[in-house]
Amino acid sequence: MEFKAWFQCINFECQSKYELTEIVYRCKLCGELLEVQHDMAMLKKRSTEEWRGLFEGRYRRNEWPYGSSVWAKRELVCPNISDENIVSTYEGGTNLFWAERLGQGIGLDDLWVKQCGMAHTGSFKDLGMTVLVSMVKQIMANGRKIKAVACASTGDTSAALAAYCAVAGIPAIVFLPKDKVSLTQLIQPITHGVLTISLDTDFDGCMKLVQEVCQKDDIYLANSMNSLRIEGQKTISFEIIQQFNWEVPDFVIVPGGNLGNVSAIGKGFQMFHDLGLIDKLPRLVCAQAERADPLYRSFLNGFKTFEPVQAQTTLASAIQIGDPVSYKKAIRALKAFDGIVENASEAELANAVGRANKTGLLCCPHTGVALAVLEKLVDRGDIKKKDRVVVISTANGLKFTDFLFNYHKDQIKGVQSDFAFSPMESAANYEDVKKVISDRIEV
Ligand SMILES: *Cc1c(COP(=O)(O)O)cnc(C)c1O
Ligand SMILES: [Zn+2]
């Protein structure tokens, strides 16, 4: 059986098509975003039992390339790449953690955290980057010259691009906003030997520049405007369904910045639904930092208008984006999924992390935004005690130790840390240590 996919303009009146091996990011006719379309009629020729059997048989096995949870669904992701051009670190297959104690604390019986940060470069960005870099390798193998691959980033995209290009031996360039990414995020592209350019602007400024460079100098653009990445990221939804034994959760909450991921998660559930692999859709919730919340403002007016904002500095640095590329795709997904958009202040997101830390989760601040929004929706009664809820944890907390350190020292300006937990000091003798222990624990 042959499965086909192509780029298609998201403008319903246009719907122009392009080959996936063509270097094109926006529609050449109308300038609108593109998305990958699949030959659904062909895919539907396989029964739901066959699909389930195929995916179960491949899940977390070692056979190349199916040990990657992205390539294990290759027919639904990117069917046109040959095995030898796949660039993979065996991404996906991340734990769906039952957050029992955190759930109890906020009044939920069935709370789960999808640990997408348990990944090669510590964030979900690996899921999309494996598809994009594999396509670059395929294009190069077809004989077309690509000088380099470039992206603008709030930190995690550049880390993923750097790692995957280093694995494949493809030159890469990353544009980062100066002093706005964590030390770990900065050190990742540097260690992989990738050209790392620090710019005195914010993410939106970096984005404009990288687009100009890619257009003028024949360099391949790796931002999520490149919809190949969305295809890899939509496997988050496939995995959630598989991990729940083909049952659909009631709510999925995801932090949103450039809004590629919320679109991707919507697309994944929609595709499984179209193929008959699930019979309902979850409600989709996009969580934004109050200091960069253009989608939330649009939601408040029923998505009638969308205005970019000037993003302000937020602890959730990976979603500090005022002019998100994928807002139209996100709005489309949210409308189809009876979606909700909510925001969280700095204090709310930080304390949501602190609360989760106490139950064994080392969260990043973006996951904190999603958790803070979850608390709001529970308090408001939108989410009920028995609902099955999945929070998408987008990055590993270990990438944000500065934030965690400052939070637990109660040293974040404008934030009172409700769950701070600092180390105790003691003289090195039994009596003093015993006193420190008995202050905290009954002994
Ligand atoms: C990229 C990123 C996001 C936001 O995803 P978008 O697709 O830009 O909305 C959230 N959290 C982390 C940790 C990220 O790296
Ligand atoms: Zn078009």
Q: Which residues, listed in sequence order, are joined to residue 221 by a DSSP beta bridge?
A: 150
Q: Is the CB of 329 under 6 A from ligand 1?
A: no
| Interatomic CA distance for residues 114 and 25, integer angstroms | 30
Residue 255 CA to ligand 1 centre (angstroms):
7
257 lines ligand 1 (CB under 6 A): yes
Decide if pLDDT at 96 tops 90.
Answer: yes
312: left (phi over 0), alpha (psi -120 to 50) or beta: beta
Separation CA 421–CA 428 (nearest Å): 21
User: What is the CA(256)–ligand 1 centre distance, in A?
Assistant: 6
**Alpha-carbon gap, residue 228 to 230, rounded angstroms:** 5
- Ligand 2 centroid to Cα of residue 234, in Å, is 23
Residue 265 has pLDDT above 80, yes or no: yes
Residues 260-288: what's their mean pLDDT?
Answer: 98
Which atom of ligand 1 lies at the shortest distance from residue 258's CA?
8
Q: Where are the beta strands (DSSP E) in 200-250?
A: 220-221
Cα separation values, 374 from 104, 269, 337, 379, 412, Å: 13, 20, 17, 9, 22
Q: Give the gyration radius of the chain's Cα atoms.
A: 22
Nearest bound ligand to the CA of residue 160: 1
225: left (phi over 0), alpha (psi -120 to 50) or beta: alpha
Q: Which residue puts its alpha carbon closest to atom 8 of ligand 1? A: 258
Least confident of 160-174, 196-210, 242-256, 366-380: 196-210
Task: Assess whether the C-beta atom of 259 lies below 6 angstroms from ligand 1.
Answer: yes
Quote the pLDDT of residue 175: 95
User: Is the shortest distance between the CB of 366 and ligand 1 below 6 Å?
Assistant: yes
Whether 311 has a pLDDT exceeding 70, the answer reads yes
pLDDT digits (tens, 9 = 90+) for 268-277: 999 999 999 9
What distance in Å separates the CA atoms of residue 94 and residue 116, rounded to the nearest whole number? Answer: 6
pLDDT (tens digit, 9 = 90+) per residue, 99-136?
Answer: 999 999 999 999 999 999 999 999 999 999 999 999 99
> Where does the pLDDT of residue 2 fall: very low under 50, low under 70, confident under 90, or very high at 90 and above?
confident
Mean pLDDT, all residues of the chain: 96
pLDDT at 435: 94
Please tell me the predicted confidence (pLDDT) of residue 217: 86
For the Cβ of 261 lying below 6 angstroms from any atom of ligand 1, the answer is yes
Instruction: Please tell me whether the overall predicted TM-score, pTM, comes out greater than 0.95 for this model.
Output: yes
| Strand runs labelled E in 63-148 | 96-98, 110-115
Distance from Cα 441 to the centre of ligand 2, integer Å: 65
Alpha-carbon span 8 to 18, nearest angstrom: 6
Q: 96-122+230-403: what fold? A: Rossmann fold (3.40.50)
- Asked whether 260 lines ligand 1 (CB < 6 A), one says yes
Mean pLDDT in residue range 351-372:
98
- Tell me the two tokens of residue 298: 């649009």
Decide: 417 in ligand 1 pocket, CB within 6 A: no
User: Letter for the amino acid at 128?
Assistant: G
- Residue 324 Cα: closest atom of ligand 1: 8
- With a 6 Å cutoff on the Cβ, whether 295 touches ligand 1 is no
Asked whether the predicted pLDDT for residue 258 surpasses 80, the reply is yes
369 lines ligand 1 (CB under 6 A): no
Calpha distance 201→82 (Å, rounded): 39
- 1 confidence band (pLDDT: 50, 70, 90): low
Sheet holding 283-289, edge to edge: 96-98, 110-115, 388-393, 251-255, 283-289, 340-344
Q: 437: which 2 tokens?
A: 């222990």
Q: How far is CA 11 from the centre of its chain?
A: 24
227 C-alpha to ligand 2 centroid (Å): 14
The span from the CA of 252 to the CA of 390, in Å, is: 5
Q: What angle (nearest 5°) sits at the alpha carbon of residue 363, between those of residues 386 and 130?
A: 100
Q: Which of 370, 395, 179 is nearest to 289 (CA)?
A: 370
Neighbouring CB atoms inside 10 A of 106's CB total: 19
> 388: Cβ below 6 Å to ligand 1?
no
pLDDT at 171 exceeding the cut of 90: yes
Q: Is 255 in the pocket of ligand 1 (CB under 6 A)?
A: yes
Looking at the DSSP bridge assignments, the partners of residue 152 are 175
Of the candidates 212, 169, 222, the one whose C-alpha atom is nearest the C-alpha of residue 194 is 169
Q: Give residue limits of the domains in the chain.
A: 96-122+230-403
Q: What residues contact residue 360 under an 8 Å CB cut-off, 6+ apart?
A: 101
pLDDT at 3: 79
Q: How confident is the model at residue 224 (pLDDT cuts 50, 70, 90)?
A: confident
Question: Is residue 283 classed as helix, strand or coil in its secondary structure?
Answer: strand
Q: State both tokens at 51.
A: 């699909």
Once rounded to an integer, what is the mean pLDDT over residues 4-14?
Answer: 97
Ligand 2 mean position, distance from CA 161 (Å)? 28
Ligand nearest to the CA of 151: 1
Looking from the CA of residue 261, the nearest atom of ligand 1 is 7
Rounded distance between C-alpha atoms, residue 316 and residue 1, angstroms: 45
> Is residue 122 lining ligand 1, measured as CB closer than 6 Å?
no
In the chain, % helix, strand, coil (3-state, to 5) comes to 45, 15, 40
Spatial distance between the Cα atoms of 267 and 269, rounded to a whole number of angstroms:
6
Query: Mean pLDDT across the stretch 358-377?
Result: 98
Is residue 225 scored above 90 in pLDDT? Answer: no
Cα gap 111→96, rounded to integer Å = 10
Question: What per-residue confidence (pLDDT) applies to 423?
Answer: 86
Neighbours of 334 (CB within 10 A): 25
- Of 118, 123, 334, the one to substitute when testing ligand 1's pocket (max ligand atoms within 8 A of C-beta) is 123
What's the 4 CA to ligand 2 centre distance in angstroms?
Answer: 20
Q: Judge whether 321 and 296 are in contact, CB under 8 Å.
A: no
Atom 1 of ligand 1, residue of closest alpha carbon: 318
pLDDT in tens, 378-437: 999 999 999 999 999 999 999 999 999 999 999 999 999 999 988 889 999 999 999 999
Arithmetic mean of pLDDT, 229-249: 98
Q: Are 184 and 121 in contact (CB under 8 A)?
A: no
Structure tokens at 442: 């009954």
Spatial separation of the C-alpha atoms in residues 427 and 264, rounded to whole Å: 54
| C-alpha distances out from residue 398 to 115, 292, 318, 341, Å | 13, 23, 14, 27
For a substitution probing ligand 1, which of 125, 329, 366 has the most ligand atoms within 8 Å of its CB?
Answer: 366
